[in-house]
Amino acid sequence: MRKFVLNDETKINSYGFKTLNNGINLDRFKSNPVMLDQHENETTSVVGRWNNIRIEGSLLVADAEFDTEDKDASLLAGKVDRGFIKGASMGISFDPRDFVTDKEGNSILEKCELFEASICAIPSNANALSLYNKSGQKLDAKQVTKLLSFTQKLQNMDLLQELIKLLNLGDGATNEDVYNAVKGIVEKNTETEELKFKQTLDTAILEGRIHATNREFYLKSMRADFDGTNKILNGFPKKQSLADRVNNVGNNTESRVDWTLDDYRKKAPDELKRNPTLYNALLAKSFQQ
């Protein structure tokens, strides 16, 4: 087996950062140490596996075992044996929050997870490094550049000074001034939200969609999910006026204001099927009774 270098933590890769070996999580990779051809995540691109992955000084290394029963893998193994291919490359998933800046101003990736490792024509610390997000989706060069640029900007930013500018507090503002300003914004937004909840519930009670005794329950529900709760409230039928009730009696039509879910199931099942919002509203109402 031939030894390959997967990472040299002393070198800056083509994206402009170093990756610390001790911060590379190898657990998942060791359970399935696939060797890919040029980071192609296809079953046909699996050309072997990596054995004895380990850290030697500043290097993360592993031994390559090719699947010689596979024609393409056998050809690659021959090129390796003859010295025409010497490069390997990591494919890592990472969180941008795990970048730090060292005293020389270099970006350092302190933590990541080894997703795969590939045989490549160009060594791992040059152009062949492949990056994945935490969901395992491969990032293209434009996405990586944009993400790292934003991360670098955050690292170089004096967050307190940026907040002072955004909040229009002036040069002499203190930490307490920033805290009070942010707190004021949060409280104002909360007051606005609470007013919206109150007005919506007042209307629902006035229209007879819910009883006033259930106000607190729906208020808590709105704080968790306003849109969903409002949809349920709108699904409840309005309370009919006296004139509507008289007209309904004259038309021999039974009022449905007080109908329960069981009433609809027995008397108007087709309407219930056609109106899922009404069904969900009646179902929610049944749990309150």
pLDDT band at 16 (very low <50, low <70, confident <90, very high): confident
pLDDT at 156: 59
pLDDT above 60 (res 247):
no
Residue 130 and residue 138 in contact, taking contact as beta carbons nearer than 8 Å: yes
Residue 256 and residue 237 in contact, taking contact as beta carbons nearer than 8 Å: yes
pLDDT above 50 (res 249):
no
Please give the model's pTM, rounded to 2 decimal places. Answer: 0.50
Region 250-260: mean pLDDT is: 61
Which range (152-166, 193-207, 214-228) has the least confidence?
152-166
| CA dihedral sign, ordered 30, 31, 35, 41 | negative
| Chain segment 108-150, per-residue pLDDT in tens | 889 999 988 888 876 645 445 677 777 677 776 677 677 777 6
| Chain segment 19-49, per-residue pLDDT in tens | 999 999 999 899 999 999 888 877 888 999 9
Q: Which residues pair with 275 in a beta bridge?
A: none
Between 1 and 55, name the one with better pLDDT: 55
CA angle 51, 55, 60 (to 5 degrees): 75
Amino acid, single-letter form, for residue 160: L
Domain boundaries of the chain, sorted by first residue? 2-156, 175-287
Contacts of 213 (CB under 8 A, 6+ apart): none
Strands 87-93 and 130-132: parallel
pLDDT at 21: 93
Mean pLDDT, the chain, whole residue set: 81
| CA dihedral sign, ordered 158, 164, 168, 169 | negative
pLDDT at 11: 87
